[in-house]
Amino acid sequence: MSDPSHALLDGLRRIVGQPHVLTHDDPDADLAAWEQDWRKRSRGQALAVVRPASTDEVAQVVRLCAEMQSATGVSIVPQGGNTSMVVGAVPDASGRQVVLNLQRMNRIESLDAGNLTLTAQAGCVLQNLQEAAARDGFLFPLSLAAEGSCTIGGNLGTNAGGTQVVRYGNTRDLCLGLEVVTAQGEIWNGLGGLRKDNTGYDLRNLFIGSEGTLGIITAAAMKLVPLPAAQLTAWAAVPSMEHAVALLGLAHKTLGAGLTGFEVMGQFALSLVARHMPQSPVPLYETTPWCVLLEVSDHESEEHARSQFERLLEAGMEQGCITDGVVAESIAQARALWQIRENLPIAQAIEGLNIKHDISIPISRIPAFVAATDALLAQALPGIRMVDFGHLGDGNLHYNVQAPEGVDAAAFLRDNEATVNTLVFESVAKFGGSISAEHGIGSLKVDKLPGYKPPVALEMMRAIKRALDPHNLMNPGRVVRI
């Protein structure tokens, strides 16, 4: 390591304290938790993992890195819970990147019941935020399988979706203010929590979904809603994707704003949960190509929710959209059904390395998209296994590809990932969709984006990046190359 890097590390230790700068100089240090991504697609090597305890420390770290960038070649990778699906939060192999992990900044700062907002530091784990809201009688409605470890800063960085977007929107829709450390190490306090503010460009929304490439989110003011009086969950077998879409239409009509979640799960995807998580029995999947998980929430009463839900399920049966179904009779049963859904990505990871997609398509075109793209993939790569599931209510499918049974998954990905991505993304474009609805661009899609984003839009993105981070200090090589 050259001397400027030593000086940089010394400076970082002075800012955050010796124990909070982890490096490979310590032969006992195991940095895998910060250097390896959740999907095991990439293991980089950091110059250091730095764990600040306050916004001021984040600002000092950024200022020092900016000052020493030309001497050391350092850049910064903001990291929360490291659950990124697109290799967005781990360092590259250069040994020059500082992973700036925000997990020590995990305080709930305040809950303003009158304004229906909760303000938290960026490293606050999503589940802790949900629990803090619930203790005061509120719901924080962002919900996803990684909620036990992902952070609100990471959720904002990726504009995460999850399973309640149908009713409450993405993370962006739930955010009323941010505190940000800029790429120059200045602190912007935009935590006002205002519902209306038309004083020029919307800076908050620029940082949301920017995947750590424009600055570091250090705190956020998030919207709350009162806890509903009742939540009901049902699991339905549906005979085809066309029927799943028809059932969604019926659900909107019958439940109105009460429709909270509408998830679809393919038979093979569910078989992976049955195989790898036998403690989590999967209902109905053996005799149907698709199952749907529906949730209604109701501010009136459980009886009201139940009668609406029963009306929907009866209409679904009458119209042939549902062939069989179960309604959870208790909170425990509802949790067990959601657990199956949330186990899908974990079961898929246990099955082996895979190619993931988080595409969106206009909902009405999803059945035709799936039929056409399944056929193209089956022809190009006989034997591949489709692990399809996702947020049908949002038109967002996890249209995932697993290697053929018995084939070495790493070799399959090496030889075929590019072909699979091209086939899927071309089809997505043909059907008027987006190549990323949830997980973002990260490293995995950065070279694909220019093929699917209009050049004018891409150039505006580059101009924003150049304006806010002219020296490419923040998460370089992710989202957009400049």
Taking CB positions, which residue lies at the least distance from ligand MLT? 345
Region 268-307 residues binding ligand MLT, contact defined as CB under 6 A = none
Select 123 or 390, whichever has its Cβ closest to Zn ion: 390
When CB distances are held under 5 to 8 angstroms depending on the partner's kind, the choice from ligand MLT, Zn ion, ligand FAD, none that residue 102 binds is ligand FAD
Q: Which of 153, 190, 258, 393 binds ligand FAD (CB under 6 A)?
A: 153
> Which of 210, 187, 212, 215 is CA-nearest to residue 77?
212
> Which of 67, 54, 97 is CA-nearest to residue 187?
54
When CB distances are held under 5 to 8 angstroms depending on the partner's kind, the choice from ligand MLT, ligand FAD, Zn ion, none that residue 179 binds is none
Q: Residue 261, interface with ligand FAD (CB under 6 A)?
A: no
Q: Report, in Å, the least distance between residue 113 CB and ligand FAD.
A: 26
Name the segment binding ligand FAD (CB under 6 A); options: 82-90, 131-139, 332-340, 360-368. Answer: 82-90
Return d(Cα 428, Cα 411) in angstroms, integer.
26
- CA torsion sign for 201, 204, 209, 210 is positive
Return d(Cα 210, Cα 154) in angstroms, integer.
10
Region 13-52 residues binding ligand FAD, contact defined as CB under 6 A = 38
Q: Residue 80, interface with ligand MLT (CB under 6 A)?
A: no
Select 309 or 399, whichever has its Cβ closest to ligand MLT: 399
Q: Residue 92, interface with ligand MLT (CB under 6 A)?
A: no
Give 284: exposed, middle or buried? Use CB within 10 Å, 0-12, 13-18, 19+: middle
Return d(Cα 217, Cα 180) in angstroms, integer.
4
HEC assignment per residue over 23-86: CCCCCCCCCHHHHECCCCCCECCEEEEECCCCHHHHHHHHHHHHHHHHHHCCEEEEECCCCCCC
Whether the CB-CB separation of 253 and 156 falls below 8 Å is answered with no
Q: Residue 247, interface with ligand FAD (CB under 6 A)?
A: no
Select 316 or 390, whichever has its Cβ closest to ligand MLT: 390
Q: Which of 44, 91, 157, 193 binds ligand FAD (CB under 6 A)?
A: 157
DSSP state of 11: H
> Which of 335, 336, 247, 260 is CA-nearest to residue 305?
260
Return d(Cα 461, Cα 479) in angstroms, integer.
9
Strand (E) or helix (H) holding 347: helix 331-351
CA distances for 90 relative to 11, 45, 87, 426, 471, angstroms:
22, 9, 6, 28, 20
Region 422-441 residues binding Zn ion, contact defined as CB under 5 A = 438
Whether the CB-CB separation of 438 and 396 falls below 8 Å is answered with yes
Q: Residue 354, interface with ligand FAD (CB under 6 A)?
A: no
Select 92 or 438, whichever has its Cβ closest to Zn ion: 438
Select 97 or 416, whichever has its Cβ closest to ligand FAD: 97
x/- string (CB under 6 A) for ligand FAD, residues 161-200?
xx--------------------------------------
One DSSP character per residue, 178-208 reads EEEEETTS-EEEE----S---SSS-HHHHHT
Whether the CB-CB separation of 263 and 390 falls below 8 Å is answered with yes
Q: Residue 35, interface with ligand MLT (CB under 6 A)?
A: no
Select 49 or 355, whichever has its Cβ closest to Zn ion: 355
When CB distances are held under 5 to 8 angstroms depending on the partner's kind, the choice from ligand MLT, ligand FAD, Zn ion, none that residue 38 binds is ligand FAD
Q: Residue 438, interface with ligand MLT (CB under 6 A)?
A: yes
The partner residues of 75 in beta bridges, in order of sequence, read 97
Tokens encoding 168? 């409450």
Q: Residue 151, interface with ligand FAD (CB under 6 A)?
A: yes
Q: Residue 345, interface with ligand MLT (CB under 6 A)?
A: yes
Select 49 or 160, whichever has its Cβ closest to ligand MLT: 160
Return d(Cα 396, Cα 404) in angstroms, integer.
25
Q: Which of 167, 223, 398, 445 binds ligand MLT (CB under 6 A)?
A: 398
When CB distances are held under 5 to 8 angstroms depending on the partner's kind, the choice from ligand FAD, ligand MLT, Zn ion, none that residue 356 binds is ligand MLT
Return d(Cα 357, Cα 321) in angstroms, integer.
26
Whether the CB-CB separation of 72 and 24 falls below 8 Å is answered with no
Select 96 or 398, whichever has its Cβ closest to ligand MLT: 398
Q: Report, in Å, the least distance between residue 213 CB and ligand MLT.
A: 21
Q: How many chain residues bind ligand MLT (CB under 6 A)?
A: 9
Q: Residue 20, interface with ligand MLT (CB under 6 A)?
A: no
Query: Which parts of this chain interact with Zn ion (CB under 5 A)?
Result: 438
Query: Which parts of this chain interact with ligand FAD (CB under 6 A)?
Result: 38, 77-85, 88-89, 102, 122, 144-146, 150-151, 153-155, 157-158, 160-162, 211-212, 216-217, 345, 438-439, 475, 478
Query: Which parts of this chain interact with ligand MLT (CB under 6 A)?
Result: 85, 145, 344-345, 356, 358, 390, 398, 438
